[in-house]
Each structure stands twice: as structure tokens, then as C-alpha cells.
Chain A
Amino acid sequence: MTVTKWNVRAGAYYDSVVLMQLQRGLLELSGVVDAGVVMATQANRDLLAANHLLPDSVTANPDDLLIVVKANDEDFAIEAIDKVDELLTRRKSSTVSEDFRPHSLSAAVKQLPEANWVLISVPGRYAAGVAREALDLGKHVFLYSDNVSLEEEIALKKTAREKGLLVMGPDCGTAIINGVGLGFANRVRRGAIGIVGASGTGTQAVTAQIHNLGSGISHAIGTGGRDLKSDVGAITANQALDLLARDPDTKVIALISKPPSPEVATQLISSAQQTGKPVVIYFIGYPPPARQIGNLHFAISLSEAAEIAVKIGDRRLETVEKSPVSSLYLRGLFSGGTLAYETLLGLQASLSPIYSNGPITPNQNLKDPLKSEAHTIIDLGDEFFMVGRLHPMIDNDLRIRRMKQEASDLEVGMILFDVVLGEGSHLDPAGELALAIKEIREKRIGELDFVAIVIGTDEDPQNIQSQIDQLKEAGITVFRTATEAVEYISLKFSRHNSNQFPPVNLEQLKQPLAAINVGLESFYDSLISQGAQAVHVEWRPPAGGNEKMAALLAKMKNKKEN
């Protein structure tokens, strides 16, 4: 049983072509059996009647728009009638005149609705106002203008963060979004290295060098020089790190900044650890704590930052998959004391709390060497274990028993161990360990990863290649240095802090760049010459610079928000 609903709109003229299109739109809706949309002239009414689309109770004049929908049930019919306005106003975008230059941001947005980015290079005293308008319109901001107050910068960035939008700047000289340079930017090839830059020329130097070394840039996100000051708290840099961490096209991240304030540096390093990607950090003039800590690589110059990023990018074509172990614990069971120590050194920044019988700091001291806690690195060659027993490089028994003990703890997600080959060592350590691990795996409920560091040469008596093969065959991830193992583990255990703010939309980053330029016309020309879609706003100060009028307008805007 079908239901027929109708709607009469008095005095609404539409061309019949528009109405036929509306009629087709209605017919495409689910549940709609038939539809008629006509100016209610006698001829048209007769036509509807012939198609059983004119209920007797319809009264309409020739100047009225008559919409009749026949649907499978009442809900479908009502839904279809409700859609009429939407269908009538639906139109293909951009039937705009290309040479029209709007005077306002809102008009520019209507002209180029797909634009997600607004470049602002107006005089500083007006820049924050334009940026705020852009954020209100849901657009990311590239704020080239300087002389924006710190208070305004903080306010803008907080607003942006609430909306999942980026404010690059103020005083942001460069950015490269999806292959298109904003502001001052070098032409570089696309690639897998993402940049977060709080220094414009620093970012240019690094991106250019990466290009010259044969690699390329996924995106370079500028933050403005003050972003890493404690007052701003690296709001944009944190958003950018998070965004690049989620971007599958970015394999390596480089973080470039003039010296950040110490607390911001600490916080950013922790954010960088959580990206789950190798991050090359160059805080100009800030003494690096180490060459490498887990997934973090510290550079000592701009060119070195580029070199490291390129080297890692070449090496690591696949990102390390996050695994369920990230919420569990690591247990490292070492035969070599120095390997244990180096591993602890590398992991202490990213795995917390972490304990050891060979602690670096007193609070890492493991109370009972026989009982692991949280993340634990044990040196089984320590003299505590050696009483009446052979060294674990010769005898695997102690290590296998300890492996079983750790595996019975369901909070353990990964067991790391070393295999030190060479004269004097066990002749087939991998064979024994692999066999034991297979058994452990069979009994174990839930995820348990094994990682091995194999130390040795191809001339060692154990035949290093067959040792490695046996381990791999048992599903064990093998590294040849502690450094590589540490980085791998850091990434495996990296956990994204659940973000209290909406994430920046990754899809917008990947769409072909479309932008609105407010200010320097050369930035617009540059966008166009790079093949981006852009609209230039013919900007003038509000009320033509008439302070009195501008103040009144500002009051009226505030009034709206109250």
C-alpha cells in the first residue's frame, strides 16, 4: 500500500528543467515510488492526475509549486518531502568566475569551498582577526604575519586545537603540504620524510638537503618560532607530530627547532617517542642527551638531521606495526652485562617503570633478581646467578627456566635475549633456545613476542647464519646490534596517549591542496604556479583602517558571542 504526500509552495517560480531535475532527485530516494514536481497550472495538474499523482484534496494555483511524492510508506514520503529544499539548492560547486577576487574570507570560502588552508600575510595587527575568522570557518591557518602578540597566539592555537585545526605560525615562513609549498619553500620531491619545523630557514635547509640526498618530503608543517616556548607549550608541534604519526605516507619524522624551553623539550621528546615512528630531533643549540634513545635520533646540525632522516628512511621501508604487546611488559634476559646495560640505557626513556639488577639509577634497582617487575632487564651473567653454575653463554639452562617463568606471567608481552657467539660459547645456543621457545609458545595463552640480539661474526664456530636462521624459523625477531633492537622495542611499546583534543583531519592533509590567500599576492602566484587551487582575497583593513568603525564592528562581533 503506497502513501501519497504533497506540498504546495505558493508563489515559488522554478523553471521546468529545474523541477524535472528535482523530480528525478526525489525518485532516487529510497522508498519513493513516483514523484511529480510542477507549477500547478491546469495542464500540469491534468498530467499529474493522469499519472495518479493528484489526490482529490490538493488545492493549488497556477503560480504555486506543487510537489507530490508517492512512497512505500508514510515515513519515506515525509522524508522525501523534507529533502526538497536540499535537492533544490544542490549544485555543482565552482561555477565561479575565475578572475573574481573576493574581498572577504567568507566570500572566498564560498568561491572555493574545497580550500582547507588559509595563508595569512596581512599586517600583524590585523592578522589575528583574520586567523580567527579562518578558524571559525573551519580552516587550517598558515600565519606568515609577525607582530602577533603572544596572548593572541596562545588564544588562536587553543581555539584551533579544540577544533582539530592547525595554526602554523605566527611568523611561520615555510610549510609544504601535500607537495605544495606555502610561503617560502623549496621545490622538493615527494617522499617519506615528514618535517615539524619551528624554524623557517631551518626547515628549508633540511628539506632542501633531503631532496639533494635523493629523498623527499611527505609534509613539512611549520609551527612558528614561539610555539616551543613554554607559554605556548608546543601546541602546534604536538598536533603536527600526532598528525604525521598517523600519516601512512610519513615513515620518518624530523623535528627542527631553535632552542625550546627545557620543559617543552622534555614534553616534545615524550610526544616524539609516542609517534611510533623514527624521529630525528635537532633542537638547535640544545645539547642532545644521546645520539639515539629508542626511536629518537638526535642530530647535531641541520645537514646531519637531513642525513639521518634519509638514512633511516632508506633503511626502513615499512613502519613497525603496533602490536598488542604495547600494553604489556618487556623482560630482557641477557647473558652479556654490557649488552644489558646498553639496552637499559636505550629503553629507560621510553619504557617506564623499568628495573634491573644492573640499574643505571638507584630507583631502577630490582629488589629481588629472581622476580621481575614491570619492565625488567636482567643480566643473568651477574655473579648473583653464578654461584655453582656455568655462565649463561655456555649453559642455556638458567635462561630457559627464567624464560618459562616470565612466560607464565600474562602481563609479559615480549622477551628479549642476547645470543653471544664465538670461541668459548655454547656451540648451538640458538638451537636450544629456539626449541625451548617453541615449547613455551605452545603453552602460552595470548601474545608473546621474542626478540634476539645476535653478536658474532661469520667466522665464529657456531655458523652465525644458521644460528640466525634457526631463531627466525622459530618466529623470533633478530637484530645484530642492541641499538637496532632498542629502537624496534621502543616503537613496539610506543603508546599513543589518548588525546583529549580532536585529531587534525588526516584526509584534509592528503587532499590536493586548495588554499585561500590573504595578504601577499606573491604567495598566491606561487600557489597557482605549483598547480594548487587558490583564491586571492583582495584584503583591506576592516573599515578601511577607520579605527572608530573597526572598533564598533569588533564590539558587534563580541556581542554576537555573548
Chain B
Amino acid sequence: MDIDSANTTAVNRLMEARPILKGVAPARDVIPGMKDNLFLHAGPPIEWARMSGPLRGAIIGAMLFEGIAKSEAEATSMVERGEVEFDSCHHHGTVGPMAGVTSASMKVYVVENAEHGNKSFSNLNEGYGKVLRYGAYSEDVLKKLHWMNDVLGTALADALAQSNGIDMRALIAEALHMGDEGHNRNKAGSLLYLKLISPLIAKVMKDNAAESEVLQFIGDNALSVLNPVMAACKAMTDAAHGVDGSTIVTTMARNGTDFGIRVSGLGEKQWFTAPAEIPVGLFFSGFSQDDANPDIGDSAITETAGIGGFAMATAPAIVTFVGGTPKDAINATLEMYEITFAESKYFTMPVLDFRGTPTGIDLRKVVELGITPRINTGIAHKNAGVGQVGAGLVRPPLKIFEDALVAYAEKYGL
């Protein structure tokens, strides 16, 4: 077994994966293993007792949304009686930002990897303010979720059915040339998405007022495309998973309590976890570092696929997150080249003379150099339902990479 050639295989699968946004459908119809009492969440698997505020809030909200509980108290006692099940989104080809809670009735994006055939899923983005993904479950939150499922979700499903799908790899590549890094900044990508989806929506929606509302919603939300982008990254990294002997990291995800990674050459459900750290960043007015919840969300799938914090150099508009100057942003990307195995063939950065983004985190390099991946992230309030309080940078604990290296050595008899 040659580690480098295994990694070449894994990284090539990651890069050559061709995620196409094919449609929108209820989770129970498309996500493998989805059940009415199953609630998927971001990050590595976790039991209720250890869940952080935002994740608990989102689960309660999803139970109310599904109508299986009528109140917070009822939801909590159902959970405590063991009447609902939880699992990591990642065990079902799914990713979700922040709490990432996905339940059976929720409509989800369906992304298909045209190259390798695997599918991935992500819920619809709710926009800003009080939202379920930050643990909010008030009436207006649920009302918006229902509108998204019934009106927006239906429109998107019908619209996408009119097309051959949207090529997400091409969309991301173009957005990277327009100042997005694909994780914290998705302004350009969301507009590209709006551009592509608008004519299709116009084709399928009969009610002008509703159509206007849908287009307005997509256009107002600079994160509209984040969820399909994440699903695309999931399709790519899943394609890279399971290559015998590979030390490429195929998942980085957080559940608000633990940070977890998975490695291509190790098991499908073999997570290496440690307590998630609290992101360091900039805060909205009225909030401070003290309000921040430990790191949460599946959105680090973008860095795992070679964009987000790894492509910081191409997103000068948000350099304040990394120290303030475009040079700091370039240095952030340069640092990530040191722990990655390859440079992306498709995602390039003009400022680095069209060099490909750092792609394929190599466990060996992380441990050898002691450099952990940089992740751009939104910061959730530690209390359920307050919402986003800022954005910044976080790194996973080094220990989980060391643990993974030990497990790799055991598996491969080193």
C-alpha cells in the first residue's frame, strides 16, 4: 500500500466529482434511512444530554414543525422518553449549516455527483435573524419554515425539474472569481444561483405575487446558495471517502459540543472527536465573545472540499476575519497549502495567479506540522433561539488528527 497513490486516488475523486443540483424533495422521500421520528443534526453523533443550546432548540423546533410535539415541554419529554432518534447528517449523505437539523417532512436539495453517482442532500437556507438553524423555534420561525417548505420548496422543485440541473462545480468556480470563498461569503454565488433559477421559476409559477416573494427571498439572502454549495462539497468529499490507505480527511463537522473528523482510509462511521472550540471573530453589535457557542455546523465541509477558509485569498471583501489585510488572507491560503495534498484543478484564485485552492487535507501533514485547518464560520449564540452573533475563524483541535493517525497506524499495522 502506497499512501501517496491512495491519496492521489482520493483527491482525484474529490476534484473530479461533478455535483449537479438536480432537485428539491421531502427528506423522507430521498434521504437514505430517513424516518418520521429521526432527526438528523450537524457534526458527529451526539446524545441529547450533551447537546448544546442551539442544537437542542433546533431539534425542539423541528419536532414542532413536524407536528409530533405540540410544545417545547412535550418535545423535551418525548426526547427524554426516547421516542425520537438522532443521527449525524453525515451518515445519510446530508449536511446542514449550524444545527443542521433535518426532519422527514423538510424539503431538501438533492445533489447528484454525475461522475461517481453518489447523492447528497441539504436543507433550504432560512436567511438571517431568528432561524431554526441557530436553535430558534418561535411561531414566526415555524411559520417561515412552513412557507419555505410549501411555497419556496415547491417552486424550486418544479423549477429544477424543468432543467438538467445546475452544475455546482462550475457555479462555485465562478463565484470564487467574484469574491466568494464559498463559506462565509456566498454573495456572488447566491446571485449566480438567482440568475440560473429565476427563468426556471418564472416558467413554473403561475401566481405573480408568490413568484415575486420567492425571487425576493432568494435574492435577499446572501446565503441562499450556501446549502447547495455544502451539498456539492458533501458529494465531492463522500466520493473521496473509503479509499483504502488514504490519509485524506473527508469530513470536518461540529455539533456545538464536539468537533469531529473522518478519514478516507478509515471507517464510514469512525469519528475522531474532541470538544469543539469557541470561534474567535467579530461580533454583531450588542454581542461579545462571551455569548459565543462552541463551534457548530456542517459547513466546514466547504474547507474539507478545498474552499471556504482555504480559499481566503480570493475573498478580499471579508479579510477582516483573518487579520484585516488582503495579505493576511493570502497568507491564510498559503498556510493551508502546507497541509493539503493537492491543488484544485477547478477552483482557482486570480490573486494567486490562478493557482488551484488547497485541496485534500492530509492527516500526516497536519500532525507533522502541527497546523490545523482554518475554518471560516458563523458564530451562534450559546442560548437557543438567539441566532447568529458574529462570524470568525476556528480551528479543530489537533488531538483529533493525532487520534486518527493512531487509528490509521493500528488499522494498517504500522
**A92 contacts B by Cβ under 8 Å:** yes
- Which residues of B are found within 8 Å of A97, using beta-carbon distances? 327, 330-331, 334
CB contacts under 8 Å to A, within B129-150, are none
**B402 contacts A by Cβ under 8 Å:** yes
Contact of A552 among B171, B353, B414 (CB under 8 A): B414
Per-position contact with B for A71-112: 1 when CB-CB < 8 Å, else 0? 000000000000000000001100111011011101100110
A286 → chain B closest CB, angstroms: 45
B207 → chain A closest CB, angstroms: 29
**A422 contacts B by Cβ under 8 Å:** no
Q: Determine if B338 and A107 form an interchain contact, defined as CB atoms under 8 angstroms apart.
A: yes
CB contacts under 8 Å to B, within A21-80, are 61, 63
Q: Could you write out 15 A-B pairs with CB less than 8 Å apart?
A: A10-B18, A13-B173, A15-B177, A61-B167, A91-B355, A95-B352, A103-B371, A104-B369, A107-B334, A546-B402, A548-B406, A549-B405, A552-B405, A553-B364, A555-B414
Alpha-carbon separation in the docked complex, A552 to B331 (Å): 29
**B3 contacts A by Cβ under 8 Å:** yes
Q: Contacting chain B: which of A250-258, A342-350, A463-471, A536-544?
A: A536-544
- Which residues of B are found within 8 Å of A106, using beta-carbon distances? 338
Q: In chain A, what residue has the closest Cβ to B334? A: A100
B371 → chain A closest CB, angstroms: 6
**B2 contacts A by Cβ under 8 Å:** yes
**A556 contacts B by Cβ under 8 Å:** yes
**A213 contacts B by Cβ under 8 Å:** no
Per-position contact with A for B325-345: 1 when CB-CB < 8 Å, else 0? 001001100110110000000
Q: Determine if A560 and B4 form an interchain contact, defined as CB atoms under 8 angstroms apart.
A: yes
B50 → chain A closest CB, angstroms: 28
B362 → chain A closest CB, angstroms: 10
Q: Determine if A543 and B170 form an interchain contact, defined as CB atoms under 8 angstroms apart.
A: no
Interface of A is mostly: loop
Q: Determine if B337 and A110 form an interchain contact, defined as CB atoms under 8 angstroms apart.
A: yes
Q: Determine if B370 and A102 form an interchain contact, defined as CB atoms under 8 angstroms apart.
A: no
Count of chain A residues with Cβ under 8 Å from any Cβ of B? 37
Contact of A11 among B2, B170, B338 (CB under 8 A): B170
- Which residues of B are found within 8 Å of A137, using beta-carbon distances? none
**A12 contacts B by Cβ under 8 Å:** yes
- Which residues of A are found within 8 Å of B1, using beta-carbon distances? 559
Q: Determine if B353 and A104 form an interchain contact, defined as CB atoms under 8 angstroms apart.
A: no
Q: Determine if A540 and B370 form an interchain contact, defined as CB atoms under 8 angstroms apart.
A: yes
A129 → chain B closest CB, angstroms: 10
Q: Determine if B331 and A11 form an interchain contact, defined as CB atoms under 8 angstroms apart.
A: no
Q: Determine if A103 and B338 form an interchain contact, defined as CB atoms under 8 angstroms apart.
A: yes
A44 → chain B closest CB, angstroms: 14
Alpha-carbon separation in the docked complex, A559 to B408 (Å): 13
**A155 contacts B by Cβ under 8 Å:** no
- Which residues of A are found within 8 Å of B92, using beta-carbon distances? none
Known A-B contacts: A103-B369, A553-B368. Give 16 more (CB < 8 A): A12-B169, A12-B170, A13-B171, A13-B173, A14-B348, A15-B177, A15-B350, A96-B334, A97-B331, A102-B334, A103-B371, A104-B369, A556-B364, A559-B1, A560-B3, A560-B4
Q: Determine if B414 and A556 form an interchain contact, defined as CB atoms under 8 angstroms apart.
A: yes
Per-position contact with A for B255-282: 1 when CB-CB < 8 Å, else 0? 0000000000000000000000000000
- Which residues of A are found within 8 Å of B337, using beta-carbon distances? 107, 110
A39 → chain B closest CB, angstroms: 8
- Which residues of A are found within 8 Å of B346, using beta-carbon distances? 11-13
B375 → chain A closest CB, angstroms: 18
**A20 contacts B by Cβ under 8 Å:** no
Q: Determine if A543 and B367 form an interchain contact, defined as CB atoms under 8 angstroms apart.
A: yes
Q: Which A residues lie at the B interface, using CB under 8 A?
A: 10-15, 18, 61, 63, 91-92, 95-97, 99-100, 102-104, 106-107, 110-111, 540, 542-544, 546, 548-550, 552-553, 555-556, 559-560
B175 → chain A closest CB, angstroms: 9
Q: Determine if B354 and A18 form an interchain contact, defined as CB atoms under 8 angstroms apart.
A: yes
Contact of B368 among A15, A100, A542 (CB under 8 A): A542
Alpha-carbon separation in the docked complex, A107 to B367 (Å): 16
- Which residues of B are found within 8 Å of A546, using beta-carbon distances? 402
Alpha-carbon separation in the docked complex, A68 to B6 (Å): 34
Q: Determine if B18 and A99 form an interchain contact, defined as CB atoms under 8 angstroms apart.
A: no
Alpha-carbon separation in the docked complex, A366 to B300 (Å): 87
Alpha-carbon separation in the docked complex, A95 to B334 (Å): 11
Contact of A556 among B3, B169, B369 (CB under 8 A): B3
- Which residues of B are found within 8 Å of A10, using beta-carbon distances? 18, 114, 167
- Which residues of A are found within 8 Å of B285, using beta-carbon distances? none
Alpha-carbon separation in the docked complex, A378 to B3 (Å): 70
Alpha-carbon separation in the docked complex, A63 to B167 (Å): 7
A236 → chain B closest CB, angstroms: 29
- Which residues of B are found within 8 Å of A542, using beta-carbon distances? 368
Q: Determine if A543 and B331 form an interchain contact, defined as CB atoms under 8 angstroms apart.
A: no
Q: Determine if A553 and B167 form an interchain contact, defined as CB atoms under 8 angstroms apart.
A: no
Q: In chain B, what residue has the closest Cβ to A21? A: B354
Contact of A100 among B330, B364, B402 (CB under 8 A): B330
Q: Determine if A553 and B371 form an interchain contact, defined as CB atoms under 8 angstroms apart.
A: no
Q: Contacts A91-B353, A553-B367, A560-B3 given: A102-B338 contact, CB under 8 Å?
A: yes
Q: Determine if A549 and B367 form an interchain contact, defined as CB atoms under 8 angstroms apart.
A: yes
Alpha-carbon separation in the docked complex, A90 to B169 (Å): 22
Alpha-carbon separation in the docked complex, A549 to B247 (Å): 14
Alpha-carbon separation in the docked complex, A14 to B327 (Å): 24
**B116 contacts A by Cβ under 8 Å:** no
Per-position contact with A for B189-207: 1 when CB-CB < 8 Å, else 0? 0000000000000000000
Which of A92, A543, A544, A555 counts the most chain B CB atoms within 10 A? A543
- Which residues of B are found within 8 Å of A15, using beta-carbon distances? 177, 350
Q: In chain A, what residue has the closest Cβ to B352? A: A95
